[in-house]
Structure 1
Amino acid sequence: MSESCQPNWRTSSYTGSGDNSCVEVADNQPAVLVRDTKHAGAGPMISFSPEVWSRFTATVPGRRFHS
């Protein structure tokens, strides 16, 4: 993987405050990558299409989830 293709990880603005539920997001890739910060970059990550990520982040603030 070339230097320019490396994910640009940042702490998500949806990260909790002080409750150890932090995630990092890299959205400079063809897919949006998400990982748990507790694993210091060594743990698993999941990917979303940009469209799905946009819908998810639009839903989170209003907590409009269906069970």
Structure 2
Amino acid sequence: MTTSSEPDWFTSSYSGGSGTECVECACSVDGTLIRDSKRAEGPVVHVRAGAWSAFVRSLALDTPR
């Protein structure tokens, strides 16, 4: 996270390569921020750290090995 008040947004590695379904994430003090990259001024979803960790763990469990 940067020292400014603006979040340091990055494109999710799971976003499509065509540019039509990009999700951006940013770390916050107590969780993760998520937004649609095509609507950067639009709504932002804030997910608390514990819920985000559980979500990421569930994805790892569902990933074929």
- Quick check: 1:25 aligned with 2:25? yes
Instruction: Kindly indicate which of the two structures has a greater share of residues assigned to strand.
Output: 2
- Segments of structure 1 that go 5 or more residues without pairing to the other structure are none
Cα deviation digits, residues 7-64 of structure 1 (max 9, x gap): 111111221222611110011432210000111x11101000111111112223527x
Alpha-carbon distance between aligned partners in 1 of 2:46 and 2:29, rounded to the nearest angstrom: 10
- Segments of structure 2 that go 5 or more residues without pairing to the other structure are none
Aligned length: 60
Normalising by structure 1, report the TM-score.
0.70
**How well do the aligned residues superpose, as a CA RMSD in angstroms?**
2.1
Q: Give the secondary structure class of the aligned counterpart of 1:55.
A: helix
Counterpart code for 1:43: G
Report what 1:38 is aligned to: 38
